[in-house]
């Protein structure tokens, strides 16, 4: 048996990576650190200058990058589940989302924008986009998915939101108002989805497990819980 | 140029001007009419910040709600559909 042989391929099948030239099916794959393109060089140059000129320290940059990287949609799901079980928290969340999230222990200081929660109801469905770039509620959801940054999503969601929602499997009746939110400036939106039917008996932690990233962007809703 | 203080419910129009630079007001709402949904607060002007200037004085940011049918005359969807865009005071005119 082959120790450490965990990549799925049929023996004799060609690999695309540069490490496999010469036909050896077990040669190591090529390194992927060979993308020193224009923007990467620009970022490195600017970062080094900021450090050299004492505008920012290397440690501040590290701390900020780590803070961004530590965030995942589980953070948003915790906030949503709390809002479902605690009416006072929900009222604060809709009024001052930053304060509400800080009360749950989220560090909101690294984000110089105003977090705003938009609530789905039986008559209103909210969905977020950033047509100008890729503004996203990173403090609660982490990095945006590739489709959120695509030109197709950014241009089509404002123009034909119901068609885009249908492609995500979300079909809404005509008496539900679809409210698109374009984060063009200093607001970041996150959707508070509706608590699904059949979830009455679940604990806060169990509820958080139901809350998907896409439901907090607003491209999906949360399906009823099977009895 | 500024619309003066605006209140939720006020009808506004977005200036239909084409200026160069780092502009946050999308083309698709220029010249369109909407309603102030809320006052967001004062922020340093991003159109100035982008060029290393102070961004002062701070500008009032509003969330403006547009009917989709107003923004896209051939919009395929019910009249209840809306789009909210965050727009700075100096891009708005009261109507």
Same domain, A78 and A113: yes
Residues near A75 by beta carbon (within 8 Å), at least 6 away in sequence: A106, A139, A140, A141, A142
Same domain, A141 and A197: yes
Could you tell me the domains of chain B?
Answer: 11-94 (2.30.30.50)
Same domain, A83 and A152: yes
Assigned domain for A97 exists: yes
A135 is catalytic: yes
Which of A30, A46, A68 is the endpoint of a domain?
A: A68
For residue A29, pLDDT over 80 is answered with: no
Assigned domain for A141 exists: yes
Q: Which residues of B touch A (CB under 8 A)?
A: 24-26, 28, 40-41, 43, 46, 61, 63, 68, 71-72, 76-78, 80-88
Say which residue, A162 or A14, is predicted with more confidence. A162
Query: With pLDDT > 90 as the criterion, what percentage of chain A qualifies?
Result: 68
How many pairs of residues across A and B have Cβ atoms under 8 Å apart?
74
For residue A16, pLDDT over 80 is answered with: no
Q: How far is CA A57 from CA A50, A65, A67, in A?
A: 8, 13, 15
What is the structure's pLDDT at A20?
Answer: 46
**Which of A50-59, A68-77, A109-118, A162-171 is predicted least confidently?**
A109-118
What is the structure's pLDDT at B66?
Answer: 98
Say which residue, A175 or B4, is predicted with more confidence. A175
Same domain, A43 and A90: no
Query: With pLDDT > 70 as the criterion, what percentage of chain A qualifies?
Result: 87
- What would the pLDDT profile of B82-94 be if each residue is shown by its tens digit? 999 999 999 999 9
Q: Among B25, B45, B46, B83, which would you mutate to test the A interface (most chain A Cβ atoms within 10 Å of its Cβ)?
A: B83
pLDDT-derived band at A17 (thresholds 50, 70, 90) equals very low
Q: How far is CA A19 from CA A3, A11, A32, A227, in A?
A: 19, 16, 11, 52
Min Cα distance A174 → chain B (Å) is 6
Which CATH number is A109's domain given?
Answer: 3.90.330.10
- What would the pLDDT profile of A52-105 be if each residue is shown by its tens digit? 999 999 999 999 889 888 899 999 999 999 999 999 999 999 999 999 999 999
What is the structure's pLDDT at B4?
Answer: 76
- Where b means 16+ CB within 10 Å and e means fewer, B46-72 reads bbbeeeeeebeeebbbbbbbbbbeebb
A187 touching B (Cβ < 8 Å)? yes
- What would the pLDDT profile of B5-57 be if each residue is shown by its tens digit? 899 999 999 999 888 888 889 999 999 999 999 998 898 888 888 888 888 99
Catalytic: which of A135, A183, A212, A215? A135
Same domain, A82 and A185: yes
Residues near A11 by beta carbon (within 8 Å), at least 6 away in sequence: A25
Same domain, A99 and A123: yes
What is the structure's pLDDT at A178?
Answer: 98
For residue A9, pLDDT over 60 is answered with: no
Same domain, A126 and A208: yes
What is the structure's pLDDT at A19?
Answer: 44
CA-nearest residue of chain A to B37?
A181
Same domain, A63 and A148: no
Residue B11: strand pairing partners: B35
Mean pLDDT of B63-85: 96
Query: What token pair was written down for A30?
Result: 């090529």
Assigned domain for A158 exists: yes
A133 is catalytic: yes
| pTM score of the predicted model | 0.83
Among the partner residues B77, B85, B88, nearest to A178 by beta-carbon distance: B77
ipTM: 0.92
Assigned domain for A91 exists: yes
For residue A147, pLDDT over 70 is answered with: yes
Provide the domain limits for residue A63: 38-68
For residue A113, pLDDT over 50 is answered with: yes
Assigned domain for A223 exists: no
Same domain, A58 and A167: no
Question: What total number of domains does chain A contain?
Answer: 2
Chain A residues with CB under 8 Å of B28 CB are 131, 158-159
For residue A150, pLDDT over 60 is answered with: yes
CA-nearest residue of chain B to A130?
B85
For residue A13, pLDDT over 50 is answered with: no
**Which of A176-190, A199-213, B65-79 is predicted least confidently?**
A176-190
């Amino acid at each position: 048996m082959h120790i450490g042989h965990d990549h799925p391929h049929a023996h004799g099948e060609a690999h695309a990576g540069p490490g496999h030239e010469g036909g050896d099916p077990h040669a190591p794959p090529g390194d992927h650190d060979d993308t020193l393109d224009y923007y990467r060089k620009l970022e490195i140059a600017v970062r080094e200058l900021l450090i050299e000129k004492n505008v920012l320290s290397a440690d501040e940059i590290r701390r900020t990058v780590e803070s961004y990287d530590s965030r995942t949609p589980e953070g948003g799901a915790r906030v949503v589940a709390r809002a479902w079980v605690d009416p006072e928290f929900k009222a604060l969340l809709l009024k001052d989302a930053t304060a509400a999230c800080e009360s749950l222990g989220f560090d909101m200081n690294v984000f110089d924008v105003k977090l705003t929660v938009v609530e789905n109801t039986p008559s209103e469905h909210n969905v977020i986009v950033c047509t100008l770039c890729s503004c996203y509620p990173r403090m609660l959801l982490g990095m945006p998915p590739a489709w959120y940054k695509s030109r197709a999503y950014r241009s089509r969601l404002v123009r034909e939101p119901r068609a885009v929602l249908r492609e995500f499997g979300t079909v809404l009746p005509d008496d539900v108002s679809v409210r698109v939110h374009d984060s063009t400036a200093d607001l970041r939106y996150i959707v508070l989805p509706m608590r699904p039917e059949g979830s009455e008996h679940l604990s806060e932690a169990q509820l958080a497990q139901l809350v998907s990233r896409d439901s907090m962007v607003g491209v999906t809703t949360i399906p009823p819980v099977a009895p | 140029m500024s619309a003066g203080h605006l209140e939720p419910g006020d009808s506004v129009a977005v200036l239909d001007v084409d200026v160069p630079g780092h502009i946050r007001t999308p083309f698709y709402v220029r010249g369109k009419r909407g309603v102030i949904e809320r006052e967001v607060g004062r922020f340093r002007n991003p159109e100035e910040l982008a060029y290393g200037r102070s961004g002062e004085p701070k500008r009032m940011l509003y969330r403006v709600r547009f009917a989709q049918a107003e923004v896209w005359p051939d919009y395929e969807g019910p009249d209840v559909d809306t789009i909210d865009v965050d727009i700075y005071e100096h891009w708005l005119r009261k109507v």
